[in-house]
């Protein structure tokens, strides 16, 4: 277990190191959980590269800070954590709100993201002209990619 002070709060994280050329894997958990939700998954995954898991601001053993919570704030926390650990070009996997953070990170800091997997994100962040972002509700799709009604 490690702690680091970033963006006016303390983040709790766990990082495994690796000597392989495999890309780092960054896992972002859902609301109300801490990074332990990934423990059993990682036992079965057998990933050979670095793995970074962390407790989002206000979760697990991480601090709360004074800033109002937002996807952008969580994304900036993750970007700062990845920068501090020298992680770039990583595969990002997020569950629920973690998926929203993953999408925001990919839009704001593509240098950190090689690829991403968003599991059950409730909203998508869309980049508009002028660099603004908007949130839109995702529509579930059927077997052939057609929207379910």
Please give the full DSSP string across 103-143, using - where no structure is assigned. HHHHHH-GGGEEEEEEES-SEEEEEPGGG-EEEEEPPPB-T
Residue linked to tokens 């490690």: 2
The chain-wide mean pLDDT, for the chain, equals 82
Residue 52, pLDDT > 90, answer yes
pLDDT value, residue 143: 33
Averaged pLDDT, 41-50: 81
44 - beta bridge partners? none
| pLDDT over 70, % of the chain | 79
pLDDT digits (tens, 9 = 90+) for 2-27: 999 999 999 999 998 888 888 899 99
- Minimum mean pLDDT range among 52-61, 74-83, 103-112, 137-146: 137-146
Highest mean pLDDT among 7-21, 46-60, 76-90: 76-90
The number of angstroms, rounded, from the C-alpha of 134 to the middle of its chain's C-alpha atoms is: 18
- Tell me the C-alpha distance between 147 and 3, whole Å: 43
State the Cα–Cα distance between residues 28 and 100, nearest whole angstrom.
10
- Give the integer Cα–Cα distance in Å for 106 and 102: 6
pLDDT at 50 over 80: yes
Query: Is it the case that residue 129 has pLDDT exceeding 60?
Result: no
Domains and CATH numbers, the chain: 2-122 (3.40.50.1820)
């Amino acid at each position: 277990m490690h702690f680091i002070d970033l963006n006016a709060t303390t983040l709790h994280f766990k990082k495994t190191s690796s000597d392989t050329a495999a890309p780092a894997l960054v896992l972002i958990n859902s609301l109300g959980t801490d990074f332990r939700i990934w423990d059993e998954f990682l036992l079965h995954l057998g990933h050979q590269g670095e793995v970074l898991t962390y407790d989002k601001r206000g979760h697990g053993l991480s601090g709360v800070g004074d800033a109002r919570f937002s996807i952008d704030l969580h994304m900036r926390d993750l970007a700062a954590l990845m920068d501090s650990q020298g992680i770039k070009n990583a595969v990002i996997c997020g569950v629920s709100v973690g998926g929203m953070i993953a999408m925001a990170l990919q839009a704001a800091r593509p240098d950190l993201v090689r690829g991403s997997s968003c599991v059950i994100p409730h909203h998508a962040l869309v980049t508009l002209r002028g660099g603004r972002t908007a949130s839109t509700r995702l529509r579930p799709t059927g077997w052939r990619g057609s929207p379910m009604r």
